[in-house]
Chains A and B, each alone.
Chain A
Amino acid sequence: MICCKECLDLLHDYLDGTLSKEIEKSLEEHFEDCPPCISFLNTYKAASSACRQTLTQTEVPDEVAASLKSFIKKNIKNSP
C-alpha cells in the first residue's frame, strides 16, 4: 500500500485524470483508509478553486476599457 507522502506526489496527475488505472486504484484505496489524506485532497482542491473564483472576477474597469479603445483607434487603426 502506498503511503501519504507518495499520495501527495500523485495529487496533480490524479486531479488531471492522467494516472494509470492501476496507480489510481491504489491511490483511491489509500484514501478510503486515510481521513487526513481526504482532508488534504479536499483542501488542496478548495484552495485552487477559491482562488480561481476570486481572480476570475477581475473585470476591465470602464475607464480602462475606454482608454484601450482610444489607444487602438489612435495607434492601430490609424497606423500606416
Chain B
Amino acid sequence: MTTDQKAEEEILARKLIEGDIEAFDRFVEIYQKKIYALAYNMTHNQMDAQDVTQEVFLTIFRKAHTFQGKSAFSSWVYRVALNAVYMKLRSRKKDQSISVEDAFPSFNGAGYHQEVIRDWSESAESLMFSNETKNVIQSAVDQLPEKEKIAFLLRDVEGLSTEEAAEALDLSVSAVKSRLHRARLILRKKLSGYFEEKQIPGVVK
C-alpha cells in the first residue's frame, strides 16, 4: 500500500468512527470488490460471497467505533471479513486432506534435487486465457488446506504485505511466511501436472 493510500485509509477510518455516511460510500467503493472476491475465492458460491459481503458491511458500519488503530485499518477490515468467511465455511466442512509433504520436491542424501524438474513457466503464460486453465487453477486453489489458502489469498491474490496479512490473521510474520510458502509449493505441484502435459513442443527446457 502506498503512503497516499495509507493516509486516505486513516482519514476514512476516522470518518467511519464518527458515523459519516459518505465515508461509508467511499469504503464500499474501495472494499466491495476486494471483500466479495476474497469471499468468493474461499467459498466458490455467489450467494455465500454476497452474504459475507453484507455481513462485513454491517459489522464495519456498526463496529467502526471499536477500531482502535492498533493495526492498519485494512488489516482490521480483512480480519472482519475472514471471521465472516469462517462462519460461513463452518457449516460446510469438507475433506481437504492434501498432504503438504507431497508438495515438497524430493532430495538425495546430500540435499540435491532427485527428480527431473521441468520448467513449464513460459508455456503457462500462453495458456492463461483458456477456460480449462482457469478451471484447473480455481480447483487447485480451492483444494488448498484452509490455513494455507487464506495466507495465499491475502498475500498473493489480494496483495497485502506479509505484515498486513499477519495482522489480519493475528499470526506472526514467520507463520504467515511458512503458510504462504507451503501454499505456493502445493499449487506448484498441482499445476505442474497440468502445465507439463500442455507444454508446447519447442519451449521444453
Listed in ascending order, the chain A residues whose CB lies under 8 Å from chain B are 3-6, 8, 11-13, 16, 34-40, 42-48, 50-61, 64-65, 67-68, 71-72, 75-77, 79
Contact = CB atoms under 8 A, between A and B. Distances in A.
A23 to B, nearest CB: 15
Interface stretch (B77-85, B90-98, B184-192): B184-192
B191 A47 contact: yes
Interface stretch (B4-12, B66-74, B132-140, B164-172): B132-140
Contacts, number: 139
A51 B152 contact: yes
B184 A60 contact: no
A11 B181 contact: yes
A71 B145 CA distance: 33
Contact of A4 (B33, B112, B120, B121): B112
A77 B121 contact: no
Per DSSP, chain B at the interface is helix
B15 interface: no
Per DSSP, chain A at the interface is helix
Interface of B: 21, 24, 28, 32-33, 36-37, 40-41, 46, 49-50, 53-54, 57-58, 61, 104-105, 107, 110-113, 116-121, 124-125, 128, 133-134, 137-138, 140-141, 152-153, 156-157, 162, 177, 180-181, 184-185, 187-188, 191-192, 195, 205
A12 B40 contact: no
8 contacts: A43-B117, A46-B195, A47-B124, A55-B138, A58-B36, A61-B46, A68-B57, A76-B58
